[in-house]
Chain A
Amino acid sequence: MARINPGFTKALKRFGAFDVNACYNCGNCTAVCSLSDENNSFPRKMVRLSVLGLEGELKNSLEPWLCYYCGECSTTCPRQAEPGELMMSLRRWLTAQYDWTGLSGLFYRSLTAVITAFILLATGVLWFASAQNFNPDRLLHTGHYFEMLAIAGVFVFILLPNIIRMWMLTVYSRHEKIPVKKYFKTFGELFVHMFTQKRTLGCDKSKTRWTEHLILVFSYLSLLFTTVFLDWFGTNSKSIIALGYIESAAIFIVTILFIVARMKKSTEVSKHSHPSDWMFVVWLSLLGATAFVVRLFIDLDMLENNIWIYIVHLIILVQWALIIVPFGKWTHFLYRSFAMWFLKVAE
């Protein structure tokens, strides 16, 4: 027996704007969705649970992660209930539910909170830089260590506990004991989906979005590797330097394409932009651009006199690593891949 909570959709509106109450349960959205199947039926079911405000059910659902937002459902919906945008909003909402710190929810709901956090971090970096007398070597050195530390810290203290919480909600509480063997057997799913996002292929008519995503994921992860482990900013190896240029340029170009699409609102997926969507693409773009310029300045021997460019890069990096990665849209990439794995585990 579940109690209905009609206030939920109002609360959900802060995670994205849409008129989900308009839904009259025709089921067109589910019918047209190429990713929905008998066992995991969406988006109508998710629309219904949201309208009824059955938060418990929603928290236990993996379905929102199975949607890659082609937007067919929203185009088809005769009531303009925007089921696609609902799925997106539910992903944001779920992120907030998984996050033990509660900061995800805060940042999604309040733009002021995000801006305040960004300003605080920027001030921190500036303060640190001035404490180091704007010495390029020292700054580059700390920047490098910060990256390593941030990756490890964010993963151990935020992402890992959150994934465990996700697992508790979606697998542990919902299914009989699952043998450990099954987790190992299906483990491959996690990586396949994380690196290839192959499900998008089942949903988009054109392969463009999938290709763009693939380039972005690979460029991003390899740039991370290049800077952290191959010490791009410190190395003399020509090939590593070239690699870094290619990666950062690719990130910049693909994200610019995304930004233009969002500005033009040309596709369903780019029609509705929550602040967190803007932040994600813009910061990633800036990250690629500033990294490129920093290395360029190093190669042209201009960094000594233009250390400000590195400080800008560092500010963006810190904001990215401490806010967007652990609490923002970046986590979708992670949860989505885990959801695919969990789904296989629970099958």
Chain B
Amino acid sequence: MKQDQSKKSDNIQQAKTSVSPVREDSKVAYKKRIGVYVCHCGGNISDYVDVEKVRQVVENEEGVFLAKTTMFACADSNQKEMVEDIVTQKLDGVVVASCSPKLHLLTFRAVTERAGLNKYNYVHANIREQVSWAHSDNKQGATEKAIRIVRSAIAKVRRSQALEPIKVEAVRTVAVIGAGVAGMKAAVKLAKSGVLVYLIEREFFVGGRVAQWDNLCISDETGKELITRLYDDILSHKNITLFTGAEVVEKSGSIGNFSLKVKITPRYIRMQCNKGELQKAIDVCPVEVPDKFNFNITKRKAIYHNYPGEYPQLPAIDIENCTRCGECEKVCSSIDFNQKPEYLDIRAGSILLATGFDPYEPKKGEFGYGEIDNVVTLPQFKRIVHYCNGDKLQFKGRNIHNIAYIYCVGSRQVNGENKYCSRYCCTSNIYTAIDAKKRFKDINNFHFNRGIRTYGKQEILYDESSRLGDIYLQSFEDNPPEVKVVDGKTVVSINDILTQDKKLEVEADLVVLVTGMVPRKDNSIGNLLKVPRGRDKFFNEIHMKLRPVETVIDGITIAGAGQGPKNIVESMTSALAAATKSFTIVASGELALEPTIAKVSKDDCEWCGKCDDACPYDAFTPKEIDGKTVAVVNKSVCKGCGMCLPVCPSNAIQLTGLSDDEVESMIDALMEN
């Protein structure tokens, strides 16, 4: 320890004194005046690499005007010194040999910019992660390797060119797909910020899942109340155009300028309608189908509302189930079977994807689902509780007293694919169980769980429910509860780990499977927009912590439960984040993109399509230029990943900033003895 410190102070001495004298002769001989800074990293590098030797060697490289060592290249004082050097010594190429570019590439690019030098004239050499840390056992070898790496950076900076960002026009419009709470909130936020919004909803009514829940935790308003408030906000904004029954069927273009084709399915009902007549039309419709809105526990007609007073307040005809019997037309003048699907072309600078989730649908026989008639899912249970009036909870005409809830159904699966926790379900289920217990007589709640996760403030619900006498029984994932019919009674049993694995059972009048969230079964929109999905099959962000609402497809942001299980609070937060992100893309009407992208030489290109196959971002299109088909790069899509370069048979593609010439010179410098 002591030894180390004395060595460090030695190094500091050295650092102070080792500014190289300027060599008059080298100034004239070369085009570039290059400055090289070799960093000690406070010993992290200099304990293993002889930085002074590195400096001495590279000082003599062609074009190097000054070479210095420094204790901490990233320190404020050194940054200031660099700026001063660049300005006073008129440097036009800079190399810092220090840590990984992941840490400080941007820092030193900024330094050069502050000094008025184009940031692409800066080249970073990594002699810490790649040298001192990797070869701490061989100081001489490490020093040699560092010299080669710095030389290759110098070779690159000799050929570097000033580059300007690529400017593209951005349409000041955002297309928000999905009008659940997340999409609606994002639309309102964007409209308030002053951009135009297309809000595209596939169903005939807005609100998404939340419309289905009525009483909600954790603040006590109903889903309908929330949606009414959001819908009122939407109506009050002329910036928002809402489409219902609408689906995006084609997409082209890229960030700043997407083109979407939207198919609008008609309601077959005229906008100016007579409310009384419409009710009659619903009454006379002879077709009855299971009501998806109520998770099939009730039926609805082919002409339908989701619930009285939903938005927009105009029923629709479900044409797939309509038999065209014409009964409704007889009693209602607003029915119009001549309406045709419409196709609209819209343009948007950014797309905000908020298409939500599906509740997990248990397999037939999973905890008796689909086989035992009093086994239902949590979404169904919420509808049952909602529709029961009076002080008796009833299902299929029977009174319900004992309710067994089985948690984590479709989530945290040991054998299945859904490894994740669905987050909302513990809380929502306990909330609903309390609701039922308070509203109806003689309810006993039995929670068969795998550890309750009512995180954050929601814990108070768990507390309340246990104080109300709810009983919690727990098992591990490998020993789940069992649901069986014994003498005509549904019995749920468990080896309760809280009671020394004792086998306990409950005779249940109703079994509620606390089902989790899964991605929308229909991923057509995801496929169309090429938004990648994570291991959980929900839409994937670039970086969970640092870029939580952006996708790798530039210009497309994600929000709400389509990105992964979220409650309303979390959906709203992500909606606001995504709206802000989409806003920054379109706000100024112009986008500045990285210039380090692929460039095709039209003389050499013989359009074979191999680059198109290799490109993960679909940046290539064939185009006729001067009577010849060549590949053209979409500048706003290309990310400069370089996948196309090695596959081009005629070597017609160059990567700006990493041209063959630059890379080859770097390799040569590395090999040089």
Please state if B499 and A22 are interface contacts (CB–CB under 8 Å): no
Please state if B471 and A22 are interface contacts (CB–CB under 8 Å): no
CA distance A54 to B473 in the complex (A): 14
CA distance A226 to B499 in the complex (A): 50
Q: Mark A1-26, 1 if CB is under 8 A from B, else 0.
A: 11110100110000000010111110
Is A51's CB within 8 Å of the partner chain B? Answer: yes
| Smallest CB separation, A29 vs chain B (Å) | 14
Collect the chain A residues with CB atoms within 8 Å of residue B306's CB.
none
Q: Mark B480-508, 1 if CB is under 8 A from A, else 0.
A: 00000000000001000011101111110
Q: Mark B60-91, 1 if CB is under 8 A from A, else 0.
A: 00000000000000000000000000000000
Please state if B505 and A3 are interface contacts (CB–CB under 8 Å): yes
Q: Mark B460-489, 1 if CB is under 8 A from A, else 0.
A: 001100111111110000000000000000
Please state if A52 and B467 are interface contacts (CB–CB under 8 Å): no
Please state if B500 and A21 are interface contacts (CB–CB under 8 Å): no
The answer to whether residues A4 and B504 also contact, given A48-B499, A49-B499 and a CB cut-off of 8 A, is yes
| Other-chain contact of A25, B469, B498, B506 (Cβ < 8 Å) | B498
The answer to whether residues A24 and B466 also contact, given A1-B504, A52-B471, A52-B504 and a CB cut-off of 8 A, is yes
Collect the chain B residues with CB atoms within 8 Å of residue A344's CB.
none
Please state if B467 and A3 are interface contacts (CB–CB under 8 Å): no
Q: Which residue of A lies closest to B467 (CB)?
A: A22
CA distance A19 to B498 in the complex (A): 18
| Smallest CB separation, B259 vs chain A (Å) | 56
Is B444's CB within 8 Å of the partner chain A? Answer: yes
For the residues of A in contact with B, the DSSP-based class is: mixed
Is A165's CB within 8 Å of the partner chain B? Answer: no
The answer to whether residues A4 and B505 also contact, given A25-B498, A49-B499 and a CB cut-off of 8 A, is yes
Collect the chain A residues with CB atoms within 8 Å of residue B37's CB.
none
Q: Which residue of A lies closest to B506 (CB)?
A: A4
Interface residues of A in 85-136 (CB under 8 A from B): none
Is B446's CB within 8 Å of the partner chain A? Answer: yes
Please state if B502 and A2 are interface contacts (CB–CB under 8 Å): yes
| Smallest CB separation, A54 vs chain B (Å) | 8
The answer to whether residues A4 and B471 also contact, given A22-B466, A24-B466, A52-B504 and a CB cut-off of 8 A, is yes
| Smallest CB separation, B313 vs chain A (Å) | 44
The answer to whether residues A6 and B469 also contact, given A1-B493, A1-B504 and a CB cut-off of 8 A, is yes
Collect the chain A residues with CB atoms within 8 Å of residue B507's CB.
3
Please state if B444 and A21 are interface contacts (CB–CB under 8 Å): no
Please state if A21 and B469 are interface contacts (CB–CB under 8 Å): yes
Is A45's CB within 8 Å of the partner chain B? Answer: yes
Collect the chain A residues with CB atoms within 8 Å of residue B470's CB.
21
Please state if B469 and A2 are interface contacts (CB–CB under 8 Å): no
CA distance A93 to B446 in the complex (A): 25
Please state if B504 and A21 are interface contacts (CB–CB under 8 Å): no
Please state if A23 and B466 are interface contacts (CB–CB under 8 Å): yes
Please state if A2 and B504 are interface contacts (CB–CB under 8 Å): yes
Please state if A1 and B444 are interface contacts (CB–CB under 8 Å): no
Please state if B498 and A48 are interface contacts (CB–CB under 8 Å): yes
CA distance A49 to B467 in the complex (A): 16
| Smallest CB separation, A47 vs chain B (Å) | 10
Collect the chain B residues with CB atoms within 8 Å of residue A25's CB.
472, 498
Collect the chain B residues with CB atoms within 8 Å of residue A51's CB.
471
The answer to whether residues A21 and B467 also contact, given A45-B500, A48-B498, A48-B499 and a CB cut-off of 8 A, is yes
CA distance A24 to B503 in the complex (A): 19
Collect the chain B residues with CB atoms within 8 Å of residue A10's CB.
469
CA distance A48 to B472 in the complex (A): 10
Q: Which residue of B lies closest to A80 (CB)?
A: B467
Collect the chain B residues with CB atoms within 8 Å of residue A24's CB.
462, 466, 472
Collect the chain A residues with CB atoms within 8 Å of residue B468's CB.
21
The answer to whether residues A6 and B502 also contact, given A21-B466, A22-B463, A23-B466 and a CB cut-off of 8 A, is no
CA distance A25 to B496 in the complex (A): 12
| Other-chain contact of B505, A1, A9, A49 (Cβ < 8 Å) | A1
| Smallest CB separation, B337 vs chain A (Å) | 56
CA distance A49 to B503 in the complex (A): 13
Collect the chain A residues with CB atoms within 8 Å of residue B469's CB.
6, 9-10, 21
| Smallest CB separation, B479 vs chain A (Å) | 15
Q: Mark A327-345, 1 if CB is under 8 A from B, else 0.
A: 0000000000000000000
Please state if B505 and A6 are interface contacts (CB–CB under 8 Å): no
The answer to whether residues A3 and B506 also contact, given A19-B467, A21-B469, A52-B471 and a CB cut-off of 8 A, is yes
CA distance A3 to B402 in the complex (A): 12
CA distance A54 to B496 in the complex (A): 13
CA distance A45 to B498 in the complex (A): 8
Collect the chain A residues with CB atoms within 8 Å of residue B503's CB.
1-2
CA distance A187 to B507 in the complex (A): 45
Collect the chain A residues with CB atoms within 8 Å of residue B444's CB.
6
| Smallest CB separation, A290 vs chain B (Å) | 45
Collect the chain B residues with CB atoms within 8 Å of residue A79's CB.
463
Pick the most buried of A4, A6, A23: most chain B CB atoms within 10 A of its CB: A4
CA distance A1 to B494 in the complex (A): 9
Collect the chain B residues with CB atoms within 8 Å of residue A22's CB.
463, 466-467
Interface residues of A in 24-69 (CB under 8 A from B): 24-25, 45, 48-49, 51-52, 54
Collect the chain A residues with CB atoms within 8 Å of residue B466's CB.
21-24
Please state if A52 and B499 are interface contacts (CB–CB under 8 Å): yes
Please state if A4 and B493 are interface contacts (CB–CB under 8 Å): no
Collect the chain B residues with CB atoms within 8 Å of residue A54's CB.
499
The answer to whether residues A2 and B500 also contact, given A9-B469, A21-B466 and a CB cut-off of 8 A, is no
Q: Which residue of B lies closest to A6 (CB)?
A: B444
Q: Which residue of B lies closest to A27 (CB)?
A: B498
Q: Which residue of A lies closest to B459 (CB)?
A: A24
CA distance A45 to B504 in the complex (A): 15
CA distance A19 to B507 in the complex (A): 25
Please state if B446 and A4 are interface contacts (CB–CB under 8 Å): yes
Q: Which residue of A lies closest to B446 (CB)?
A: A4
Collect the chain B residues with CB atoms within 8 Å of residue A3's CB.
504-507
| Smallest CB separation, A52 vs chain B (Å) | 7
Q: Which residue of B lies closest to A25 (CB)?
A: B498
Q: Which residue of B lies closest to A57 (CB)?
A: B502
Collect the chain A residues with CB atoms within 8 Å of residue B506's CB.
3-4
CA distance A23 to B471 in the complex (A): 10
CA distance A79 to B463 in the complex (A): 9
Q: Mark B299-331, 1 if CB is under 8 A from A, else 0.
A: 000000000000000000000000000000000
Please state if A6 and B471 are interface contacts (CB–CB under 8 Å): yes
| Smallest CB separation, A179 vs chain B (Å) | 28
Q: Which residue of A lies closest to B493 (CB)?
A: A1
Pick the most buried of B462, B472, B498, B506: most chain A CB atoms within 10 A of its CB: B498
Q: Which residue of B lies closest to A2 (CB)?
A: B504
CA distance A10 to B462 in the complex (A): 20
CA distance A2 to B493 in the complex (A): 9
Collect the chain A residues with CB atoms within 8 Å of residue B500's CB.
45
Q: Which residue of A lies closest to B452 (CB)?
A: A24
CA distance A79 to B507 in the complex (A): 29
Q: Which residue of A lies closest to B503 (CB)?
A: A1
CA distance A311 to B444 in the complex (A): 54
Collect the chain A residues with CB atoms within 8 Å of residue B463's CB.
22, 79
Q: Mark A183-227, 1 if CB is under 8 A from B, else 0.
A: 000000000000000000000000000000000000000000000
Q: Which residue of B lies closest to A53 (CB)?
A: B471
| Smallest CB separation, B506 vs chain A (Å) | 5
| Smallest CB separation, B466 vs chain A (Å) | 6
CA distance A42 to B468 in the complex (A): 24
CA distance A22 to B446 in the complex (A): 14
A–B pairs, 30, beta carbons within 8 Å? A1-B493, A1-B503, A2-B503, A3-B504, A3-B506, A3-B507, A4-B446, A4-B505, A4-B506, A6-B444, A6-B446, A6-B469, A6-B471, A10-B469, A21-B467, A21-B470, A22-B463, A22-B466, A22-B467, A24-B462, A24-B466, A24-B472, A25-B498, A45-B499, A48-B498, A48-B499, A52-B471, A52-B499, A52-B504, A54-B499
Top 4 closest pairs, chain A to chain B, by CB = A6-B444, A25-B498, A21-B469, A22-B467
In addition to A2-B503, A3-B504, 10 A-B residue pairs with Cβ atoms within 8 Å of each other are A2-B504, A4-B473, A4-B504, A21-B467, A21-B468, A21-B469, A22-B467, A24-B462, A51-B471, A79-B463
